[in-house]
Amino acid sequence: MRPSAARFRSRRVKLEKRLHEGLQAMGLELPAPARTQLIALLRLLEKWNRSYNLTAVRDPEQMVPRHLLDSLAVLPYLKGPSILDIGTGAGLPGLPLALARPDLGFTLLDSNLKKIRFVRQAVRELDIKNVEIAHARVEKFHPERKFDTLIARAFASIAALLEAAGRLCAPDGRFLAMKGVFPQAELAAIGAEYRAEVKALVVPGLDAARHVVIITHASTTEHKPDEQGTGDRQSEGRGRQDHHQH
């Protein structure tokens, strides 16, 4: 084996180990083929990043927690069968989630053509069958159907997200707004027509607070009691919300 090939294999093994250990720590089980595809996605992102500046994270070892594990942290909160990733950027979190859940259909939406080109290439090279790609601003996006889960990882604010994409959510669907620190001010700005619940996310290797806000229509009967005891943040109770700084 040539030295360069040996180094490549050593690095791949290291990345696979970090991904596997991170998934185990999060209580997530993915089959080996899915984990292999996730590492292939990482390698492709690293390659394109050299020329197209898709992400500020350059080190593949840091990409594991900051891109792969962070994206997969919301896996337990997906409601199918149709998922919309709003402002997917370089396919995050949509591509990792699609690889982890091939039984669900994902639409990845972004207005940045450079990033959409990367997503198209990744879908083609990795032969991802359950992803559709849409190049548009969310305000100009008019699909034929509504979605069961709408995810936003880098959208400006929850209120702006609901205003721009509320029409795209099925009556019993949900929004997953991925946030850093507990978004107290953003929760206070959510209208009474919505119900919001906050979950703290633990991402191994990521030394930063992460939360997901699960937003449903207040009128829906599908809402379930919160699974992890972080509390149900309903519109009428926002004035007395506690501050969780995880």
Question: Which residues partner with 177 through β-bridges?
Answer: 152, 213
Region for 67 from its dihedrals, namely left if φ exceeds 0, alpha if ψ lies in -120 to 50, beta otherwise:
alpha
Task: Assign residue 73 the CATH number of its domain.
Answer: 3.40.50.150
The pLDDT, as a whole number, for residue 8 is: 65
Confidence at residue 182, expressed as pLDDT on a 0 to 100 scale: 96
pLDDT tens for the chain, residues 1 to 246: 455 666 667 888 899 999 999 999 999 999 999 999 999 999 999 898 887 777 767 777 788 999 999 999 999 999 999 999 999 999 999 999 999 999 999 999 999 999 999 999 999 999 999 999 999 999 999 999 999 999 999 888 999 999 999 999 999 999 999 999 999 999 999 999 999 999 999 999 999 999 999 999 998 744 443 443 333 433 333 332 333 333
Helix (H, G, I), strand (E, B) or coil at 245: coil
209 within some domain: yes
Question: 83 in a domain, yes or no?
Answer: yes
Print the domain residue range for 137. 64-240
Residue 234's alpha-carbon distances to 38, 43, 215, 216, in angstroms, are 36, 42, 10, 10
Residue 19 lies in a domain: no
Structure tokens at 105: 């259909």
pTM listed for this prediction: 0.86
Query: Is 53 within the bounds of a domain?
Result: no
The CA–CA distances, whole Å, from 56 to 59, 63, 189 equal 9, 10, 30
The count of structural domains within the chain is 1
User: Residue 239 has what pLDDT?
Assistant: 31
Contact 158, 183 (CB under 8 A): yes
232 Ramachandran zone, left/alpha/beta (phi>0; psi -120 to 50): beta
Say if 200 falls within a structural domain.
yes
Q: Residue 17: inside a domain, yes or no?
A: no
Angle at 39 between CA 74 and CA 20, to 5 degrees: 65
Query: Is 49 part of a structural domain of the chain?
Result: no
